[in-house]
Structure 1
């Protein structure tokens, strides 16, 4: 694969890869580093990229694996990203905005309790909008396993969210 073909096939994927990395790592700096590392790895493999059916699936897989490696490394410390969440409600009521912001924080906290694979499935399906077939190509999982994983992830996140909201009320 030459430079021009790399630019047209791989570089347009950078935003999607960044969003996946950010969702998994919860840090802008870590996501940027991971994106750069993934792009370098793909550039190094450019001669073999033509052998793959889907360069996008390969790129997402490389990104996902790199994120999992970072999460497993001892250097990775769990910390909250400094960026603030903006909840655009369209309402001028500051109390409603505060309530929505708190709900969002609780939902993200519940989402963080999910295992890495379930979190990845939710990101790919609900955030990125991939079809089950595309997720299957990228993860190597069967479609039924993806559906079950998504169902369990959503149920676990919902239960964790409800548990947190109940705890907040007490």
Structure 2
């Protein structure tokens, strides 16, 4: 087992940890605080790093648990992500195309935000962070099959709700 370095192995996880905390808490400032606390907790057990099988999963587990504790304390499950926008890189888009794309992204974000926490976390870790089912199972403390079920159900719920909105003209397709 190689020696774990805070600078090289843990600190580079901060953006991924932030995205996970944000997806769970739905609050920018709270997510930032959770990442700081996660990094501090990881640092405080530095004398035990050589006994940890997967330091990345260890950090994600700390982050998820802190985020869950936070939403229990603040009861903020009905809020949505704010001030987080992904603008399309395609400069060939017209302003209408860009607005349509941004509208669809906002709708999908809202739909993901409205999922139950386990589905939301599994989708965040898999689709946004690129984690394997095994890594997600470790972080979430659930079997791999349950991870797959949560991801499948979450994706199905998003697809179904998005299609309903699309069919009602909330999100129009270009001809």
Cα RMSD (Å) of the superposition? Answer: 2.3
Q: In terms of mean alpha carbon deviation, does 83-92 or 5-14 score higher?
A: 83-92
Q: Helix, strand or coil for the counterpart of 1:86?
A: coil
Q: Structure 1: how far apart are the matches of 2:137 and 2:83?
A: 34
Distance change >3 Å, CA 83–CA 137, structure 1 → 2: closer
Q: Give me the TM-score of the superposition, normalised by structure 2.
A: 0.83
Distance change >3 Å, CA 82–CA 132, structure 1 → 2: closer
**Unaligned stretches of 5+ residues in structure 2:** none
Show the counterpart of 1:15: 15
Q: Structure 2: how far apart are the matches of 1:80 and 1:146?
A: 23
Distance change >3 Å, CA 134–CA 106, structure 1 → 2: same
Matched, 1:27 2:27: yes
Matched, 1:109 2:146: no
Give the C-alpha shift of residue 85 in structure 1: 4.1
Structure 1 segment 16-165 matched on structure 2, within 5 A: 16-74=16-74, 76=76, 78=79, 80-165=81-166
Q: Structure 2: how far apart are the matches of 1:126 and 1:169?
A: 25
Q: Structure 1: how far apart are the matches of 2:37 and 2:53?
A: 22
- Kindly tell me the number of residue pairs found equivalent between the two proteins: 167
**Unaligned stretches of 5+ residues in structure 1:** none
Q: Structure 1: how far apart are the matches of 2:93 and 2:158?
A: 29
Give the C-alpha shift of residue 57 in structure 1: 0.8
The answer to whether the 8 A contact 2:81-2:110 is kept is no
Q: Structure 1: how far apart are the matches of 2:75 and 2:110?
A: 21
The answer to whether the 8 A contact 1:125-1:135 is kept is yes
Deviation track 1:127-166 (CA, whole Å, cap 9, x = no partner) reads: 1111112222222222221111111010011122223334
The answer to whether the 8 A contact 2:22-2:28 is kept is yes
Give the C-alpha shift of residue 53 in structure 1: 0.9
